[in-house]
Amino acid sequence: MHQEDSPSEGGTQRDRYPPANSWADQPRSDAPEEDKHEPPRDIPSWLEKCYLIWDLIIMVLVSTSLLLILFDTLYLTSPFRDLLSAISPTLEQWGGWLHANFETIDLWFVAVFVFDVLASWALAIWDRRYHRWFFYPFVHWYDVLGCIPVGGLRLLRVLRIIGLLVRLQRTRLIDIRTWGIYRFFYKYYEIALEEISDRVIVRMLTDVQEGFLSKGNISRRVTDEVLLPRKQQLIDDVAHRVQRVLGESYAQHREDINTWVSGLIHRAVTENPTIRSLQRLPMGAQVVEAMDEAMADVTSRLIREAVIGIRSPDFRSLIEELANRTIDRSVPASASDYQALEQVLVEVLDVLKSEVKVQRWKERYY
């Protein structure tokens, strides 16, 4: 009976199952609260070991049935029968017996596989593994179809082998990533995937370039249909961000700003020749010190009032006007401006295409 996964060390109960990989694994967000998918039940460790042993038995049986199918297919060819006869007449007789009783033997395998599917379905219902009780045969469609004793459908048992290997990989009983055959196929899978995706991306970028160079005027359409209709929204967003950044920055660094301003005023006062001469007069040092403190206090108050004034409508209007002017200056005003912009974009896409065309799989494997 197929156990989807076994809990990893230190994992939660829900971690026993892989991430959702089919529509049946996805909980319905629009379902009422009482109809939500219930969490899976706790499964004892001894029961999970039984599931693991059963999966191994099923894997052996599926592998044996596939070998039987392969043998029966090859036995239909004369060269294979001649080879068996050349090796041993007894072997050829056994081959004839297997071929004659192939359907009967395969039905015994099918009986075990049907029992496995039904038992796994019942277990999935008991374990609340899926959102609805009838989802299991749709999720494991290859198991169901592989039980049908018809020539082409028997080959779907290969998918059952793959599914069992994946489950054993998740339980960390095996590590197929270290297998030579896995690395071989995965290498060429990555190469094929990279080549196909690169060609798709290059084709898409080429289509965009052709759109820029044609009479479609993509950049003008982007300006007229996307940017300008949202101009006021952009202006409001810029004004709001400027007000918020200035206000938050002053609140966080108020003491640092006051200290910096006080230091500037103190240096300016002490380095001024006229004020130095005042220090030579009676009580001059006290006057200069009071002047220093007063100027620093006035400047700090001025900065604080200016920051408070940032929230005023007048300041917001000023920012909106500046943002409006900036957007107007940034938007191309003539056909030549649009052509220059499109040419720059075309050259940028050329650079991207040259980067995409680099066959990085050669750097990884050769």
Residues 58 and 69 occupy one common structural domain: yes
Residue 61, domain member (yes or no): yes
Residues 184 and 289 occupy one common structural domain: no
Residues 138 and 211 occupy one common structural domain: no
User: CA 180, 182, 185 angle in degrees (round to 5)?
Assistant: 110
Residue 4, domain member (yes or no): no
Please give the chain's pLDDT, 366 residues, in tens: 554 444 444 444 434 434 434 333 344 344 444 444 455 556 667 777 787 888 888 889 999 989 998 988 888 888 888 888 888 888 888 888 888 888 899 899 999 999 988 988 888 888 788 888 888 888 888 888 888 887 778 888 888 888 888 878 887 778 888 888 888 888 899 999 999 999 999 999 988 888 777 765 777 777 778 888 888 888 888 888 888 888 888 888 888 888 888 888 888 777 777 777 766 667 767 777 787 788 888 888 888 888 787 778 888 888 888 888 888 777 777 777 777 778 888 889 999 999 988 888 888 877
The model carries a pTM of 0.50
Q: Give the count of beta carbons closer than 10 Å to the beta carbon of residue 288.
A: 18
Radius of gyration of the chain (CA): 38
3-state secondary structure of 280: coil
Residues 95 and 127 occupy one common structural domain: yes
Residues 165 and 283 occupy one common structural domain: no
Residues 209 and 102 occupy one common structural domain: no
Output the CA–CA distances (angstroms, integers) from residue 267 to 263, 270, 304, in the order listed.
6, 5, 22
Measured distance CA(364)–CA(313) in Å, rounded: 59
Residues 145 and 20 occupy one common structural domain: yes
Residue 317, domain member (yes or no): yes
Measured distance CA(92)–CA(80) in Å, rounded: 10
User: By C-alpha distance, which of 155, 174, 156, 154 is closest to 165?
Assistant: 174
Measured distance CA(76)–CA(86) in Å, rounded: 16
Which structural domain, as residue segments, surrounds residue 198? 177-216+332-366
Residue 20, domain member (yes or no): yes
Residues 78 and 212 occupy one common structural domain: no
Residues 76 and 170 occupy one common structural domain: yes
Residue 3, domain member (yes or no): no
Please report which helix (H) or strand (E) contains residue 145, including its range: helix 141-146
Residues 125 and 204 occupy one common structural domain: no
Q: Which of 140, 174, 208 is the last residue of a domain?
A: 174
Q: Which of 144, 159, 174 is the last residue of a domain?
A: 174
